[in-house]
Amino acid sequence: MINLEAPKKAGALINQAYQAAAEVFRPISRKYDRAEHTYPAELDMFAALLDGLNSSGEGGAGAAGVRRSKDEKEKGNRNGANLNVVLGTIEMCWGDVGLLLSMPRQGLGNAAIGSVATDEQLERFSGMWAAMAITEPGFGSDSAAVSTTARLDGDHYVLNGEKIFVTSGERADAVVVWATLDKSKGRAAIKSFVVEKGTPGFEVVRTEHKLGIRASDTAVLRFENCRVPKENLLGSPEIDTKKGFAGVMQTFDNTRPLVAAMAIGVARAALEETRRILTEAGVSIDYDRPANSQHAAAAEFLRLEADYESAYLLTLESAWMADNRKPNSLQASMAKAKAGRSVVEIALKCVELTGAYSEESLLEKWARDAKILDIFEGTQQIQQLIVARRILGKSSAELK
């Protein structure tokens, strides 16, 4: 039975992540929002601390990879690494989501490696900072449209193609690249490859100027006859048309709850600041009275807070299911869809309620940061499509 409250044993992790967010992230949040493309050097020491937490087995406070337990003999409910990472991510993004995305060795590529790599690959790529490259100039959210190719040539795969909107694409040590082994075989031929920086044929073309999350770098990458060792392919090299796209898509079951957690952190930050401003303005928020009998701003705040709570609970559920070896693709997409939509509405409405439209308030920044959380790792529309397919029992060919 699931209990959607933060487990007591996660209390120390949550407190540590909150203190780090308050003492490290918040003080430099505006600084690196203004200094786009400047690496936050303050993060180096903090990243080393997170590495220690991760290696201790307690689970870090960043976006590191998580794995499902394979021990089917385990009984009872488990609150493990998935839930710990989600809870830590919420706290860190309460501090600053762009800075979390700038953390060394906490990239979404690390989550991909941590989720699907073999034990040998986990050891070999340990300590590496990995970005994840999926989107291409020819498509946005339709991951099945990958056209970057990977051709086996002896002991290497030869990659050719271009990737866009790669978070940490310039700074990371490596990139997890989605490419197709055989375009004619459709989704089943799409595999992910770990491509290390410095590999001949791998070029960072440029970094983008962005609306939000400016502390992080977002890059365009090009692969031209880039030779990657065949042991850097994550998962099985076999093209299983019966399994279809499930192999690489499994990564999203772990990364989408993480992005939902990022959205939860930003939404909570916006709500807390709005509550403070409303209280100072003499607006009382009363949980014992009907919303329609209170100040209009208080009534709106209560609605936003309820929206936040539902997104928060969906996110915890998706992480809990992964910890307990339950298929969570539906719940991961539900959490990502709800949290992504909610954070945008909450952040913008908080700016409206408080009039915080200038750089004097971080509410302005959070409103800009929020939108990407509704876009990357699958847009709102894609998540709703996945949810519909799961609920109706339709395939991607049957429901487009």
Query: How far is residue 80 from each of residues 7, 77, 84, 319, 352, measured CA to CA in Å?
Result: 10, 10, 6, 9, 39
Query: How far is residue 149 from each of residues 5, 38, 206, 215, 300, measured CA to CA in Å?
Result: 44, 33, 21, 31, 50
Query: What tokens does 263 get?
Result: 């959205």
Nearest to 314 by CA among 391, 367, 256: 256
The Cα 184–Cα 204 span in angstroms is 29
Which are the contacts of 212, defined by CB distance < 8 A and separation ≥ 6? Answer: 98, 365, 368, 369, 370, 371, 372
Query: Choosing from 136, 162, 364, 377, which is the catalytic residue?
Result: 377
- Locate all alpha helices (DSSP H) within 117-203, ordered by sequence: 119-124
Reduced to 3 states (helix: H, G, I; strand: E, B; else coil), residue 40 is: coil
Reduced to 3 states (helix: H, G, I; strand: E, B; else coil), residue 166 is: strand
The Cα 248–Cα 261 span in angstroms is 21
The Cα 270–Cα 346 span in angstroms is 7
Whether 377 sits among the annotated catalytic residues: the reply is: yes
The Cα 114–Cα 279 span in angstroms is 44
For 158, phi and psi rounded to 5 degrees?
-105, 115
Residues with catalytic roles: 377
